[in-house]
Amino acid sequence: MDLVVIWYALIVLCWVLFFVLEGFDFGVGLLSPLLGRDEHERAAAVRTIGPFWDGNEVWLVAAIGVTFAAFPGWYAALLSGLYLPMVAILLLLAGRGVALEFRGKHDDPRWRRRCDAVLAACSAGVVLLWGAVLTVFVRGLALDAGGEVTGGGLGRTLAPLLTPAAALGALLALTAAVLLGATFLTLRTTGPVRRRAALLARRVSLAGATVALLAAGGAALTGAAGTAAVASVAALALAGLAVLARRPGTRWEAASFALTAAAVAGAVVAALTANGDVVLPSTLSGAFSLTMHDAAATGSTLRLISAAGVVVLPGVLVYQAWSYRVFRHRVASERVAS
């Protein structure tokens, strides 16, 4: 089988795992101050992602690293065309990590509230930026015949995100993160946080399905087939989630989270495969678009990294599966009388 296709499929897998696994991390981070009415409840929400968030970030490193190794042309165009947004994402990820790590280092309610505020703001910022960036995978950049992004100045790296499509992508990403966080909290907590998360999931899923349907219709009318496909996948899954989330019980909570994760995974796959073998369209001319094989590394390079990938990737998957099994129990958000 073509190694170029295999490695592109692995990159899609890495992005799917990142957006799904980090999606619920971001969702919990931005929801913890809203669903937790006091310090105990907020701490319970944050503890649900404590064992996982840093491990989940591995998939961002993997996605970027594999893109660099297997598709250097794609990597160069994306990172040069989206330099400022990527720097902003890295800074926000650093802020989120500091808030999570230092939240419990000082026994002061005001300190923890500030950390919670930083955690929520950074989580929301990362989600909005990634949602906008994901639309660039579908709509492309201003690539010239040499595969380089045209234009000068700092505005060149911001212009792709200052579009209606990017705003729509950011809104859908925020909706998805909220739903992933809410359904994850219904699975991993007990007491008041669990009840509030379930109620929020029902309400947001209905609103999100409406927004996604409108987005799909608008994209179809303008001929944006890739955007329409992404929005349609999200709309169908969110509509199903709205039905499932009305049923109490662990089984239905697990199904709600799984359906939300499937919606996010489907949207990411649709975005990354909407243009066929074109990995990055050119907004200047279709002839300048970057194809999978044009952007790929040499055959010898792909064979070399394949040997390493056969060892590393299964190991990471097994470790993460083990960690989720070990920390599968619920966190109590209600106060237990001593």
CA 90/CA 32 separation, integer angstroms? 22
| Mean pLDDT, rounded, of the chain | 82
Strand, coil or helix: 331: strand
Q: What is the DSSP string of 254-299?
A: HHHHHHHHHHHHHHHHHHHHTTTTEEE-BSS-GGGPEEHHHH---H
**Span 10-25, mean pLDDT?**
92
Structural element, H or E, at residue 336: none
Query: Does the pTM of the predicted model rise above 0.85?
Result: yes
pLDDT in tens, 115-134: 999 999 999 999 999 999 98
pLDDT in tens, 52-92: 888 888 899 989 999 998 999 889 888 888 888 899 999 99
Q: For residue 203, what pLDDT band results from cuts at 50, 70 and 90?
A: confident
Tell me: pLDDT of 222 over 50: no
